[in-house]
Amino acid sequence: MKVFHTISPLVQYLDEYRGKSKTIGFVPTMGALHAGHISLIEESVRHDDLTVVSIFVNPNQFNNPDDLKRYPRNPDSDIVMCKQAGASVVFMPSVEVIYPEPDKRQFDFGILDKVMEGKFRPGHFNGVAQVVSRLFDIVKPNRAYFGQKDFQQLAIIKRMVWDYSMDVEIIPCPTVRESDGLAMSSRNTLLTPQQRASAPLISKILFEARNKAHSHSVDELLAWVVDSINQDPLLRVEYFSIVNAVTLEEITQWSDAENVVGCIAVNVGAVRLIDNVLF
């Protein structure tokens, strides 16, 4: 496995490989890798001749400077995990390498980046689009792999690829969960033992909500989910939205959309966790 920190040698290596008519899979990450990331890498290894993993904590997608400072970083163990998962290349650039000049591009994704995460983290998805488009331009992958835990991010990246005619196939991959149901996240490592014990209530309630959907109205289910999670004093729901899985527009009745998803953000002390469930 090769590790690159700058663009030119990485591009030269990938161009030589691409010239042999080999496919390149790409898994962009912010590091602090866990089994969810590994599942993405392994999926690329199964389908592509060469798998590139980027490890870069993107400052442009953090609207809270304290959140950026707290974000976990484990570069040495990340490299070991990438190698064990079968990655061929790891790209670990500095901020100066990715942004030699400030990236002032503004993306417009309509409603997709205005609701849910976009509403509570203004500018977040513009930063995501900046870094993902930059990485796509550097790596030029045939396929890129993203987890469905970040459901809204996935929808926006698909839209970006369509809007800007990017020549890359986006592969959604299922959310990977801990044995107690908690969606795997690098932020889970920041939880105290007490918070970690409470956090699985999020997925537990979401799964129960899916079972209740046939007997409850949308409004009733929205209220039930929020109230049920907020009963734990360590958890505070920031939002829970039930939306059209394609447009991300809120629905008012189950017949409003063929595919429906419930997306949630919960503050667990200073740690913010997201999850979703398909109805």
Q: How many domains does the chain have?
A: 2
Range of the domain at 49: 2-173
β-partners of residue 273 are 266
Note whether residue 51 is domain-resident. Answer: yes
Question: The CATH number of the domain where 227 resides is what?
Answer: 3.30.1300.10
**Residues 155 and 219 grouped into a single domain:** no
Write the Ramachandran bin of 240: left for phi over 0, alpha for psi from -120 to 50, otherwise beta: beta
Question: The CATH number of the domain where 159 resides is what?
Answer: 3.40.50.620
Whole-angstrom distance, CA of residue 267 vs CA of residue 220 = 22
Note whether residue 181 is domain-resident. Answer: no
**Residues 13 and 146 grouped into a single domain:** yes
**Segment 136-160, tens digit of pLDDT:** 999 999 999 999 999 999 999 999 9
Given strand 89-91, what is the order of strands in its sheet? 2-4, 89-91, 50-55, 24-29, 143-147, 169-173
Which active-site residues does the annotation give?
Answer: 37
pLDDT-derived band at 77 (thresholds 50, 70, 90) equals: very high
**Residues 91 and 195 grouped into a single domain:** no
Please identify, among 113, 147, 173, the residue that sits at the C-terminal boundary of a domain.
173
Please identify, among 173, 199, 224, the residue that sits at the C-terminal boundary of a domain.
173
**Segment 235-263, tens digit of pLDDT:** 999 999 999 999 999 999 999 999 999 99
**Residues 59 and 134 grouped into a single domain:** yes
Six token digits for residue 23: 């496919």
Note whether residue 178 is domain-resident. Answer: no
Whole-angstrom distance, CA of residue 38 vs CA of residue 138 = 22
Given a contact cutoff of 8 angstroms between Cβ atoms, the answer to whether 92 and 230 are in contact is no
Q: What is the mean pLDDT of the chain?
A: 96
Note whether residue 273 is domain-resident. Answer: yes
The CA dihedral of 17, 94, 31, 135, to the nearest 10 degrees, is: -50
